[in-house]
Amino acid sequence: MSHKKTKKLYHAKNYQPSCGLCLHGKPAPDFGSILCPHRGVMLPDSLCKKYEYDPIKRRPERAPLLPEYAPEQFTL
């Protein structure tokens, strides 16, 4: 009896699995498609059963800009 481990992805709610985040996919020279050794040329938002998450390919969101405060707001 084989037991497969299911991997829990960090921040899995923040992104959808796609070829653009796959370990096997490489960006094509035109930067509009992904070159997959298993399926050939794929769209960046497509997905196949050979998908393996690569955390290095995920682009983090930018931190929000802090609001500017006036010095008058800090006086009593």
- Give residue 32's pLDDT: 87
Question: Is the pLDDT confidence value at 63 over 80?
Answer: yes
Q: What is the per-residue pLDDT across 5-62, written as a single tens digit (0 to 9) for each?
A: 445 555 555 677 888 888 999 989 987 899 999 999 998 888 888 888 888 888 878 8
- Give residue 47's pLDDT: 86
What residues form DSSP beta bridges with 42? 34
Q: Which two tokens stand for residue 39?
A: 């399926």
- Of 25, 6, 9, 15, nearest to 60 (Cα)? 15
Full-model pTM: 0.58
Q: How far is CA 4 from the centre of its chain?
A: 24
- Give residue 8's pLDDT: 57
